[in-house]
Amino acid sequence: MSAPVALAKRWAPEIALVVILLILPLVLPYIDGTYDIANRILDWGLFGLGFDLLFGFTGLLSFGQAAFYGAGGFVAAYILVAPFTNNAVVALIGGTVAASIFGVIIGYLSLRRTGIYFAMLTLAFGEMFFFLDISPLARWTGGENGVAGVPEPHLGFGIFSIDINDPGGLYWLLVVVFVLGFWLARRIVASPFGAVLRAIRENGARVAAVGHDVPKYKLTVFVIAAAYAGLAGGLLGLLQGYMPPDAFYLDTSGQLVVQTIIGGAGTLIGPLVGATVWLYLYTLLQNIAGIGAWWKMILGVIFVVLVTVFRRGLCGGTLLLWRRPVARPALEPVAETAVGEQARVAAEPRRSTQRPPPTGPIVLATRNLSKRYGGLTAVDDVSFELREGEIRAVIGPNGAGKSTFFNMLANVIPPSSGTIEFKGRNITGLGATMVCQRGISKSFQINQIFPSLTVRENLRIAVLARAYGKFHPAMLRAVDRDATVNAGIDAAAASVQLAKRLDTPAVELAYGEKRRLEIGLALATRPQILLLDEPTAGMSPVERADTVRLLRSIASGVTIVIVEHDMDVVFGLADRITVLFNGRKIAEDVPDAIQANPDVRAAYLGSQAAHEPA
């Protein structure tokens, strides 16, 4: 592909958008359109760009966007009417900044609860702004009358200033702002920051576990959405020459949600398309006798049907049809498992006879670690030391406290007492995200991958946490052109044998491959200590043998703690084995010694002597 073609492809959405918006004024008279309608649609589209970043990409459904639309609008209008300045650009910036500040406050409060609470809280805080607007702040906002007499926009300074005084002029102003906003939103989506947002939508807990500060990412995108809303609100006042209090209505937030769903969430252009449908349906149905009063109900029915059976909306659906003809080549089985592997692995000599246990410095240690749930002591006073380069297995019968112990190591749950030290520094209570940033990474017993992202995108999230730290507002650089990150992805994919699957969506992988991706996610953060929670759970014997070899190849340079039920795996891998029973550590030694240990046998097989009270 030649350079100009590649460039054109990269910019295709922007180019198409600009062309359509340039042609639109010529077409308007033939489609019963006016500049006024086009301006409103563009304003809603701009409002929706921020909302789509928040909802379509990050999965945060806010019903309170009206708060920022209104706040931006009223601050901008007040600046011009007071008047502090006659410059519309200054007023718009003022409105946007004000909306962003409110975004920080409301976002901080609303994001304290996740999931369904978030929708309820944003709705409630949105209403709070409405009530603030109509009464306590009525001196400035005009209460239910709004702010009248917003002057026609005056842009620029001195001899470079322009006055816009007709709808056509406003149209071009909106086109410029919208195209810039669209370009920025597309950059954000394609940036490292945007990659993390999409992963948060898929599985926020895992994003946190690989070392990203998820709350901070959420708050940042919330503020970005508020800023877009504030800018669109400011423009609304300029468009109408009047800032109406309905900007704050619950209906405004609702209309934004409906338009985004109709047009297609997660497409950026969807809200603009949705706004077009809304405003055209309104004008169209309004004029049909007998239907006029029902227009919004019809829209509601369309909305319910779309949500139920066509959740992608118009743009999402079109994109799907567009891409479908390019059928993905069928997954050819990747021959990474040789025939007769099982027999060969079974015949392989055990690790413990191969090398002596490492004697390097202690990297991870627990001191008197306990976890109590009410009267039950799940982990009881366990002290444990791990040396650099070691592979340590933690075993024990069901209910021995392995998972609890493991989750405390990874800082997923806090201990009731005792401490955890990593390279001599206390890491107790740091939280999974910080612990991962320090260099301890965990793979989960039940796959925690990002199903609709490709293998490459999955691994990228983990690599980014290492490359950019727990939070980085890198919004303008293209994530797929970051050579360091790409090298990290390739290395991680190669180490878990998924190099040939890089562009396959994770959901389409075979079970064993998903399991390897799960391990790959932990590995891609380039941990110093890798915690593996039953890595071979649910695998077939062949897959299990594969995984053992895979782990052995990883083990050079990484210290590993592994919880596992399969004793072939444990004895095939571990340098030392720690045995937990009823929450206590009953043995710790090299595999051969563990095998010969009578206490361990008693714990597993159950001996009379071990259970009878003294």
257 scored as a contact of other proteins (CB under 8 A): yes
Q: Which is nearer to other proteins, 159 or 293 (CB)?
A: 293
- For other proteins (CB under 8 A), the number of binding residues is 41
How far apart CA 246 and CA 251 sit, in angstroms, is: 8
Rg (CA), the chain: 30
Q: Which is nearer to other proteins, 96 or 141 (by Cβ)?
A: 141
Q: Does 296 bind other proteins (CB under 8 A)?
A: yes
Contact between 233 and 247 under an 8 Å Cβ cutoff? The reply is yes
CB of 331 to other proteins, least distance (A): 26
Which of 11, 84, 157, 294 is the binder for other proteins (CB under 8 A)?
294
Give yes or no for residue 494 binding other proteins (CB under 8 A). no
Q: Does 281 bind other proteins (CB under 8 A)?
A: no
Quick check: helix, strand or coil at residue 307? helix
Q: Which of 224, 210, 170, 171 is nearest to 57 (CA)?
A: 224
Choice between 127 and 513, CB closer to other proteins = 127
Nearer to other proteins, 125 or 222 (CB): 125
Please give the full DSSP string across 546-564, using - where no structure is assigned.
HHHHHHHHHTTT-EEEEE-
> Helices (DSSP H) in 53-115: which residue ranges?
65-81, 88-110
Is residue 376 a contact residue for other proteins (CB under 8 A)?
no
How far is the CA of 14 from the CAs of 7, 45, 275, 285, 320, in angstroms? 12, 14, 19, 32, 19
SS3 at position 368 = strand
The only residue of 18, 90, 104, 128 in contact with other proteins, by rule CB under 8 A:
128
How far apart are the C-alpha atoms of 475 and 207, rounded to whole Å? 18
Does 9 contact other proteins by CB under 8 A? no
Q: Which of 180, 297, 507, 596 binds other proteins (CB under 8 A)?
A: 297
Residue of 250, 246, 224, 225 whose CA lies nearest to 237: 246
Pick the closer one to other proteins by CB: 378 or 463.
378
Residue 137 CB, nearest distance to other proteins (Å)? 9
Six-digit token string for 387: 């040396």
Counting Cβ atoms within 10 Å, is residue 327 exposed (0-12), middle (13-18) or buried (19+)? exposed
190 binds other proteins (CB under 8 A): no
What is the total residue count of the chain? 614
What does the DSSP 8-state code read for residue 482? -
Indicate which single residue of 168, 300, 361, 598 sits in contact with other proteins (rule: CB under 8 A). 300
Of the listed pieces 132-140, 320-328, 380-388, 468-476, which binds other proteins according to CB under 8 A? 132-140
Shortest distance, position 126 Cβ to other proteins, whole Å: 9
DSSP 8-state assignment for residue 372: E
Beta strands in 135-284 (DSSP E): 147-148, 154-155, 162-163, 242-243
> Mask 206-235, x = binds other proteins (CB under 8 A)?
------------------------------
| Residue of the chain from 41, 258, 430, 489 that contacts other proteins (CB under 8 A) | 258
The sign of the CA dihedral 137, 138, 141, 144 is positive
d(CA 193, CA 218) in angstroms, rounded, equals 11
**Alpha helices, DSSP H only, in 376-502?**
402-409, 432-438, 455-468, 483-495
Provide the 3-class DSSP secondary structure of residue 530.
strand
CB of 446 to other proteins, least distance (A): 14
Q: CB-wise, 146 or 234, nearer to other proteins?
A: 146
Residues of this chain, 302-361, that bind other proteins according to CB under 8 A: 303-304, 307-308, 311
Cα–Cα distance measured from residue 70 to residue 66, given in angstroms and rounded to the nearest whole number:
6
Asked if 288 touches other proteins (CB under 8 A), the answer is: no
Residue 301 found at the interface with other proteins (CB under 8 A) = yes
Residues of span 383-442 touching other proteins by CB under 8 A: none
Contact pick of 132, 345, 491, 602 for other proteins (by CB under 8 A): 132
Give the β-pairing of 559-563 and 576-581: unpaired
Which of the ranges 122-130, 189-197, 388-396, 478-486 carries the binding residues for other proteins, by CB under 8 A? 122-130
Interaction of residue 55 with other proteins, rule CB under 8 A? yes
Cβ contacts of residue 132 below 8 Å, gap of 6+? none
Cβ distance 606 to 573 under 8 Å? no
The single-letter DSSP state of residue 358 is: P
- The per-residue b/e assignment along 516-528, b for 16 or more CB within 10 angstroms, e otherwise, is bbbbbbbbbbbbb
Closer to other proteins at the Cβ: 119 or 164? 119
Which of 112, 328, 344, 350: binder of other proteins (CB under 8 A)? 112
Pick between residue 306 and residue 519 the one whose CB is nearest to other proteins: 306
In the complex, least distance from residue 364 CB atom to other proteins, rounded to whole angstroms: 27
Regarding 131 and contact with other proteins (CB under 8 A), the answer is yes
Helix (H), strand (E) at residue 38: helix 35-52
For residues 259 and 578, which CB has a smaller minimum distance to other proteins in the complex?
259
Q: Which is nearer to other proteins, 250 or 434 (CB)?
A: 250
What are residue 245's phi and psi, to 5 degrees? -70, -15
Select the residue interacting with other proteins from 13, 90, 114, 537 (CB under 8 A).
114
Cβ distance to other proteins smaller for residue 126 or 389: 126
Which part of the chain contacts other proteins (CB under 8 A), choosing from 125-133, 216-224, 466-474, 558-566? 125-133
**In the complex, minimum distance from the CB of residue 299 to other proteins, in angstroms, rounded to a whole number:** 7
Q: Are 341 and 542 in contact (CB under 8 A)?
A: yes
- Calculate the dihedral angle through the C-alpha atoms of 219, 224, 229, 234, rounding to the nearest 10 degrees: 130
Residues 574-613 that bind other proteins (CB under 8 A): none
Contact between 116 and other proteins (CB under 8 A)?
Answer: yes
Q: Which residues bind other proteins (CB under 8 A)?
A: 55, 59, 61, 63, 109, 112-117, 119-121, 123-125, 127-128, 131-132, 135-136, 138, 250, 254, 257-258, 261, 293-294, 296-297, 299-301, 303-304, 307-308, 311
